Structure 1
Amino acid sequence: MRLVCLVLFLGLTPALAADEETPPREIAGPVTARVIKVRDGDTVEVEAYIWPLQSVTVAVRLRNVDAPELRGQCEAERTSAWQARERLAALVGDGPVQLRRISGDKYFGRVLADLSSPTEPDIATRLLREGLVDAYDGGRRRNWCATVGALKQALPTRG
């Protein structure tokens, strides 16, 4: 009987208005931030200025790209990872960055975003164009050892 009353009560209460009660799944931005650290070729740690005189420190993964891992399974992947990380550090430079299309990531405590700097309007696209990262849609990651390692082995040596 109690269960029936509870079901009836819940059925009669007005539903929450999704637009008013639910936090947004994406923030358009721009949000200005200061880069604290470049973690790897597709992730930076920033201090984002979310309100006047208030900030939040968060890891930001570049949207739609995947970089080789610094602790990769082969030397070719690790070397490529350091190159991607150093290039990302150069692109963000010393100045502020802007985050746009900010949304949650599958890992707690990290967000996905488009990232730009005063000199580079789309950092992820630049890294893609330079071949330092791979396009990524959340599915399977590229096998960097098979592709980069094979490419390096196929190149003629200078001598």
Structure 2
Amino acid sequence: MSNLMLFALIFAGVLAVNKIAEPSDAHEIQHVIPFQVSSVYDGDTITGIARLWPNLLHRTSVRLRGIDTPELRNGCEESKALAVIARSLTDSLVKAAHVVALSEPGLDKYGGRVVADVLVDGRNLSTLLIERGVAKPYSGKGSRPDWCGREGEI
């Protein structure tokens, strides 16, 4: 095959790839990253490996977006007990899932941790935890939810 023919073939391939990846198609790209969970720290924080590209893996902690679960080390006895249940449920849901993925990842308000919608078999893990009563909605701004029934107390 002549050099000119080889160049023409490569050039045609580049044109075809550029046509497929036009910016007008960018809105259709999903920001979903496969995630292999290695541990569950508490009800709303997991650690694992994100597959960013076929041969590019990144180990990170991820805070579940939009919720708060009770803390394991702080609070009243009832909230600590619920924290154990929340962690156990999160662990069970990610282990039972065939596919875990991060959707729309970003940095938390302090810039040190990843915050994302965590999907387990396509369902939002935060929503599942709220539905089961072990998490409350929380945007990350303002006061965190009270888990000890002392709202309004000083």
- TM-score in terms of structure 2 length: 0.72
**Unaligned stretches of 5+ in structure 1?**
1-26, 148-159
Q: 1:143 aligns with which of 134, 139, 146?
A: 146
Q: Distance in 2 between matches of 1:28 and 1:75?
A: 42
Identity value in percent: 38
Partner SS, residue 38 of structure 2: strand
**Alpha carbon RMSD of aligned pairs, Å?**
2.0
| Residue-pair matches, total | 121
Contact 1:59 1:109 in 2 (8 A): no
Aligned twin of 1:34: 36
- Runs of 4 or more off by more than 3 Å in structure 1? none
Q: Distance in 1 between matches of 2:65 and 2:32?
A: 15
**Partner amino acid for 1:117?**
V
Which digits, 9 at most, give the CA deviation of each residue in 1:2-52, with x for residues without a partner?
xxxxxxxxxxxxxxxxxxxxxxxxx95210010011010001001001111
- TM-score in terms of structure 1 length: 0.70
Task: Determine if the alignment matches structure 1 residue 57 to structure 2 residue 59.
Answer: yes
Partner SS, residue 149 of structure 2: helix
Q: 2:104 aligns with which of 101, 106, 113?
A: 101
Q: Distance in 2 between matches of 1:58 and 1:106?
A: 16
Q: 1:127 to 1:49 in 2, by over 3 A?
A: same
Partner SS, residue 148 of structure 2: helix
Which digits, 9 at most, give the CA deviation of each residue in 1:114-151, with x for residues without a partner?
11122x5111101011110010012211121226xxxx
